[in-house]
Chain A
């Protein structure tokens, strides 16, 4: 079946530290992969996406590369800011069917 496994949080980093949030998936074929972010008190919003193997999604300094060989889509940022504090969700949409599958979310807190 289809599923997403995310690194468990919470994650606490100092400002300007390097961030990695791991995400691996199980799916048949070539799903589309997404990272969503939920800032405190706000709804989920799309952060970045990749629709085929080796694609790199990027936005707001965040990047994630679609790795078919390792079935991974790890989120990275070189230098986090306090304003990046949020919950991050990895998600996939498989080749067939209508459902999106979400990970359980990883809470990130960045301290000054």
Chain B
């Protein structure tokens, strides 16, 4: 079956613009996660969805970042008034139920470059 799909795969935009990143999880996966991976660094947790609710938004770095999920499926991560430090690969992952023994399935990421 299809894996986690993210779009666009690459995005280049000017500082100050808004960007929207999309994630299509694996069908039936109720848990969805967003991460940020800066060059040469590990994964930084941003937000977690269980169904359409986001019980854990603790990783969002500022109020310029927001995310939503609809239909227990597609999620969008929006970054407003982008800054150069937002340049990174944004990864989405989904898992079945979000339980601790359920591994995450990752998309290929969106590489965001802010000029």
Q: A43-B106, A105-B42 are in contact. Are A51 and B31 (CB under 8 A)?
A: no
B91 touches A100 (CB 8 A): no
A89 touches B100 (CB 8 A): no
Query: B108 contacts the other chain (Cβ, under 8 Å)?
Result: yes
A98 touches B109 (CB 8 A): no
Among A1-53, those with CB < 8 Å from B are 6, 31-32, 34, 36, 42-46, 49, 51
Query: B51 contacts the other chain (Cβ, under 8 Å)?
Result: no
Query: B8 contacts the other chain (Cβ, under 8 Å)?
Result: no
Residues in chain B near residue A49, CB distance under 8 A: 101, 103
Among B44-81, those with CB < 8 Å from A are 45, 48, 50, 55-56, 58-59
Sample of 30 A–B contacts (CB below 8 Å)? A6-B42, A31-B100, A36-B106, A42-B108, A43-B91, A43-B107, A43-B109, A44-B43, A44-B91, A44-B104, A44-B106, A45-B105, A46-B105, A49-B101, A51-B101, A89-B42, A89-B43, A95-B100, A98-B55, A98-B56, A99-B48, A99-B56, A99-B58, A100-B33, A100-B104, A102-B43, A102-B45, A103-B42, A105-B41, A105-B42
